[in-house]
């Protein structure tokens, strides 16, 4: 890996010479033996076995950082290299699209040629692919829409409103959670209704909500996220001949992050790995699907070989249905399973691993597994207790700069947090300190209103039955079509058993005003014209996605309106839409054979971790959930407080605290060389200041592994607003923090609430303040200092300042709270 920063110069991370590819977790190297495939070079015995074992089922229990991606990749390469499998016979399921792309690249790099025909993708992408191909059998049109959670909530909101279900306590949030949970268990309305207690009015109402929701999605030719998996399973169960096609095709199925699969995903894997009955094999042969060389003695096709990789200790998605029983009961489910344990860690220092082992050891009901490294102890973990979230952010920014000046690239550092709300304080300080950073996930590009609007135009063209998309654009941009007209159209459609789109075309007969009617007809015509542009029978040829989007934007006036607006926010919105247009152009270039529906699918299935850009050269900020599967030289794990980690919400749920501990464990094990654990004694939330206690998990880490720059016991003995990041004592262990004072013992908040909130949200602007080397300045937190150097230009000018008492800092001149003396 690209790791210039390596204080201990540990040799384990160097790839053995002669290996054509660079793979992390390369192992101890130095294999002394006769010839062997380069595929096995640098692997330890367990890893080697995991690559070479052949059998019906293989379970690889892979601890964090044990080189499992490398093993999976080489296993695929090995199957292809030995001609045991064609690329098209391999189905590899990863957790994110990014992981899929990476795996594909690595296999290509090993084989030195394209591995076309392989399916390497996420559960959801694979299922969409299958469902679009088999749409007819699934009772869908191939251009079905995919509803995200926001779409689901809007739909449920309308249903709840029409049923007055809010009086029974239903909200879009709780209803969607319940429906999702049921779908993850492969329950549908009918199966649920059969077992429901129909004397409970709330149950009756829920069944009605669920039923209407299902109907609306059907009518809109749409599937929600959970349906993608469930419908594929139903499809295979209802149409054995269809299932047989895929069972015949995929001879080797590999699933990563198996501990995070839910019941529906488990069932899908089960369906895909079932054998094909002899009769069905006969049938396939007669229809020209060759199965002869796949048949066994019985005349059927044996089930595909299944490889799963997982680690129960990293299961962090129980809240959305992941079931670790899938992994703990794997051997029972798939008889003849071979189990391989990967415990040697090639990522982190022993100190980091010891902390991780100690923490996860507090979870009972787990198979004992101890990660170990041959790479030496490394640095101690650094602990820091800040007075406030603001203060904590300052510590992070300062330490990032220290690491950076020591030669570590920004992109090798990451800051983790439990909740997205914590980004605000971090971002504020990082911007002020001129640290380049990037928030991974968070408010996603495709969730922005203007992007959803533009996409709704495209969806309306691709899937004319999608009422949700149509209603979204009906009055966007403003056409004078209000909610009353909208409901009028909807009930007209309902009453006449026609689609919403058709109701728009027929709106002349509704007796609406001429202006409104004209507006509706205009939009209907625009969409019809757009649909013609991508009609395969159009003699004029077909428009690509970017041409279509440009046409829709121009004719609807959406983009022009934003551009001409005086609201500065609209400028940013226009830029976002232009970015979307640019994305469609890239898409056309990269996928010349793909069309509108493919583009929309890709957009629907991006996950938070997918927009990670390794080449960006910035510090990455993300939630602990997003961090899974990633690794960094230095990791800052912030907000290690009771109520945050473990999170308040987890306390009531069974297994909650244990899952939170795994989340903490996942965070710790992302770090290669340096780990920082920080917490804040007080944290601003919802405009209030809350007092926090150190997380219980901190006490689970042996004290000699942590070097407390400021221990929890020390922080509460001080008050005031002086920065403590740099004048902190270095007296070793955080002695006595387990017995530290109760919250009441804390000093009062330093400032009144209002003033505090203002300071956080206030965007300071120093205008054209100019600074030059030699100037003396005063900083609101750091005191007086001398400017050494000014770099950058325009609004990005950065002052390098040596403060008299708080050391060297970089400050963004435009917004730093400074004044010239």
Partner DNA sequence: CCGCGCTTCGGCCCT
Partner DNA sequence: CGAAGCGCGG
**Residue carrying structure tokens 């306390």:** 651
Compute CA distances 604 → 220, 363, 709, whole Å: 16, 36, 45
Q: Tell which one of 141, 363, 475, 699 touches DNA (CB under 7 A).
A: 475
Tokens of 57: 């089922």
Identity of the residue, 260 or 401, whose beta carbon is nearer to DNA in the bound complex:
260
Collapsed DSSP state (helix, strand, coil) of residue 577? helix
Of 42-50, 329-337, 372-380, 684-692, which segment contacts DNA by CB under 7 A?
A: 684-692
Considering only residues 612-641, where is the footprint of DNA by CB under 7 A? 623, 625-626
Q: 139 — alpha (psi -120 to 50), left (phi > 0) or beta? A: left
Among 431, 608, 693, 749, binds DNA (CB under 7 A): 608
Binding to DNA, residues 219-248 (CB under 7 A): none
Q: Would residue 420 be called left, alpha or beta, if left means φ above 0 and alpha means ψ between -120 and 50 degrees?
A: alpha
Q: For residues 424 and 786, which CB has a smaller minimum distance to DNA in the complex?
A: 424
Give the integer Cα–Cα distance in Å for 601 and 184. Answer: 21
Could you tell me the smallest distance in angstroms from the CB atom of residue 312 to DNA? Answer: 17
Gyration radius of the chain's alpha carbons: 29
Query: Which two tokens mark 478?
Result: 């403003």
Q: Which of 452, 647, 662, 800 binds DNA (CB under 7 A)?
A: 647
Of the candidate spans 56-64, 450-458, 679-687, 716-724, the one that interacts with DNA by CB under 7 A turns out to be 679-687
How do beta strands 783-791 and 776-779 pair?
antiparallel
Which residue in 13, 181, 216, 320 binds DNA (CB under 7 A)? 320
Quote the tokens at residue 800.
């390098």
Sole window of 191-199, 247-255, 315-323, 694-702 interacting with DNA (rule: CB under 7 A): 315-323
Tokens of 213: 């929701």
What would the two tokens of residue 442 be? 């968070």
| Residues acting as catalytic residues | 68-69, 256-257, 314, 670
Helices in 463-567 by DSSP H: which ranges?
467-473, 483-496, 500-505, 514-533, 545-556, 558-564
Q: Which is nearer to DNA, 242 or 607 (CB)?
A: 607
Residues in binding contact with DNA, number by CB under 7 A = 36
Among 480, 557, 743, 792, binds DNA (CB under 7 A): 480
Q: Does 111 bind DNA (CB under 7 A)?
A: no
- 33 known ligand binder: no
DSSP state for residue 318 in the 8-state scheme: G
User: Given candidates 173, 299, 557, 732, which one binds DNA under the rule CB under 7 A?
Assistant: 173
Give the number of residues written for the chain: 821
The residue among 199 and 652 lying less far from DNA, judged by its C-beta, is: 652
Residue 485 lies near DNA (rule: CB under 7 A) = yes
For residue 383, which phi and psi values (nearest 5 degrees)?
-110, 145
Ligand-binding site membership of 639 (annotated): no
Residue 404 host element (H or E): helix 389-405
Shortest Å, Cβ 441 to DNA: 5
Tell me: does residue 463 bind DNA (CB under 7 A).
no
User: For tokens 């770090």, what's the residue?
Assistant: 671
Nearest to 94 by CA among 235, 319, 304, 253: 253
State which of residues 198, 238, 289, 484 lies at the interface with DNA (CB under 7 A).
484
Smallest gap from Cβ 501 to DNA, in A, equals 18
66 is in an annotated binding site: yes
DSSP one-letter string for 189-218: HHHHHHHS-TTSHHHHHHHHHHHHHHHHHH
**319 is an interface residue for DNA by CB under 7 A:** yes
Residue 640, classed as helix, strand or coil, is coil
Under the criterion CB under 7 A, does residue 478 sit at the interface with DNA? yes
Residue 52 neighbours by CB distance under 10 Å: 15
62 is in an annotated binding site: yes
Give residues 391-450 in contact with DNA (rule: CB under 7 A).
418-421, 441
Which residues are documented as binding site?
A: 62-69
Residue ranges that bind DNA, judged by CB under 7 A = 149, 173, 317, 319-320, 418-421, 441, 475, 478-486, 516, 607-608, 623, 625-626, 647-650, 653, 685-687, 757, 761
Which residues are documented as binding site for ATP?
A: 62-69
């Amino acid at each position: 890996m690209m790791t210039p920063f390596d204080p201990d110069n540990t040799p384990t991370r160097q790839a053995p010479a002669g290996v054509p590819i660079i793979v992390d977790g390369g192992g101890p190297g130095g294999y002394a033996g006769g010839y062997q495939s380069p595929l096995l070079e640098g692997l330890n015995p367990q890893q080697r076995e995991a690559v070479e074992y052949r059998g019906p089922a293989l379970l690889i229990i892979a601890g964090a950082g044990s080189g499992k991606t490398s093993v999976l990749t080489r296993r695929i390469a090995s199957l292809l290299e030995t001609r045991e499998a064609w690329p098209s016979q391999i189905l590899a399921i990863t957790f994110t699209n990014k992981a899929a792309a990476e795996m594909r690249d690595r296999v290509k790099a090993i084989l030195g040629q394209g591995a076309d025909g392989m399916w390497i993708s996420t559960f959801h992408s694979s299922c969409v692919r299958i469902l679009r191909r088999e749409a007819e059998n699934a009772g869908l049109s191939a251009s079905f829409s995919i509803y995200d959670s926001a779409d689901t909530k809007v739909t449920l909101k309308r249903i709840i409103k029409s049923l007055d279900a809010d009086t029974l306590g239903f909200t879009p949030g709780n209803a969607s959670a319940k429906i999702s949970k049921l779908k993850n268990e492969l329950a549908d309305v009918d199966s649920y209704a059969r077992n429901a207690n129909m004397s409970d009015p709330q149950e009756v109402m829920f069944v009605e909500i669920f039923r209407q929701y299902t109907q609306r999605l059907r009518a809109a030719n749409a599937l929600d996220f959970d349906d993608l998996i469930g419908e594929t399973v139903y499809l295979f169960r209802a149409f054995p001949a269809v299932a047989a096609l895929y069972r015949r095709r995929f001879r080797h199925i590999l699933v990563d992050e198996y501990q995070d699969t839910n019941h529906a995903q488990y069932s899908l894997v089960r369906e895909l790995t079932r054998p094909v009955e002899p009769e069905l094999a006969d049938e396939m042969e007669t229809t020209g699907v060759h199965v002869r060389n796949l048949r066994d003695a019985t005349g059927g096709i044996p089930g595909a070989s299944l490889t799963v990789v997982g680690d129960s200790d990293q299961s962090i998605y129980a809240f959305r249905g992941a079931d670790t029983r899938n992994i703990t009961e794997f051997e029972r489910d798939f008889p003849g399973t071979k189990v391989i344990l990967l415990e040697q860690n090639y990522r982190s220092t022993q100190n980091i691993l010891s902390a991780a082992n100690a923490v996860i050891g507090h979870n009972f009901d787990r198979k004992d597994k101890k990660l170990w490294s041959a790479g030496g102890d490394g640095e101690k973990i650094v602990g820091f207790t800040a007075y406030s979230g603001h203060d904590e952010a300052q510590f992070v920014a300062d330490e990032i700069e220290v690491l950076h000046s020591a030669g570590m690239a920004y992109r090798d550092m990451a800051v983790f947090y439990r909740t997205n709300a914590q980004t605000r304080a971090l971002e504020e300080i990082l911007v002020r300190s001129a640290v380049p950073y990037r928030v991974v996930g968070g408010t996603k590009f495709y969730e922005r209103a203007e992007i959803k609007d533009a996409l709704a135009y495209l969806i309306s063209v691709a899937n004319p039955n999608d009422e949700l998309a149509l209603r979204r654009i009906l009055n966007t941009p403003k056409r004078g079509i209000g909610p009353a007209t909208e409901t009028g159209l909807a009930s007209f459609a309902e009453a006449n058993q026609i689609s919403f789109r058709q109701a728009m075309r027929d709106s002349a007969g509704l007796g609406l005003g001429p202006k409104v009617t004209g507006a509706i007809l205009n939009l209907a015509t625009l969409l019809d014209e757009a649909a013609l542009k991508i009609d395969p029978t159009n003699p004029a040829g077909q428009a690509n996605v970017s041409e279509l989007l440009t046409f829709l934007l121009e004719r609807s006036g959406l983009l022009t309106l934003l551009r001409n607006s005086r609201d500065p926010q609209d400028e940013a919105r226009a830029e976002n839409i232009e970015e979307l247009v640019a994305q469609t152009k890239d898409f056309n270039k990269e996928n010349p054979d793909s069309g509108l529906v493919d583009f929309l699918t890709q957009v629907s299935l991006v996950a938070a971790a997918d927009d990670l850009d390794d080449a960006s050269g910035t510090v990455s900020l993300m939630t602990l959930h997003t961090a899974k599967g990633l690794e960094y030289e230095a990791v800052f794990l912030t907000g290690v407080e009771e109520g945050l980690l473990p999170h308040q919400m987890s306390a009531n749920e069974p297994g909650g605290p244990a899952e939170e501990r795994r989340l903490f464990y996942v965070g710790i094990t992302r770090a290669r060389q340096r780990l920082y654990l920080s917490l804040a004694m007080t944290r601003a939330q919802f405009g209030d200041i809350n007092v926090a206690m150190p997380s219980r998990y901190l006490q689970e880490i042996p004290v000699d592994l942590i070097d407390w720059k400021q221990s929890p016991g020390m922080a509460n003995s001080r008050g005031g607003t002086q920065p403590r990041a740099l004048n902190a004592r270095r007296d070793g262990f955080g002695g006595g923090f387990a017995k530290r004072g109760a919250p009441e013992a804390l000093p009062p908040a330093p400032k009144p609430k209002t003033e505090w909130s203002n300071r956080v949200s206030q965007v300071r602007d120093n205008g054209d303040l100019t600074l030059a080397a030699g100037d003396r300045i005063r900083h609101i937190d750091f005191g007086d200092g001398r400017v050494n150097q000014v770099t950058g230009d325009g609004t990005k000018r950065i002052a390098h300042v040596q403060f008299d008492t708080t050391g060297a800092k970089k400050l963004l001149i435009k917004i730093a709270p400074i004044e010239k003396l």
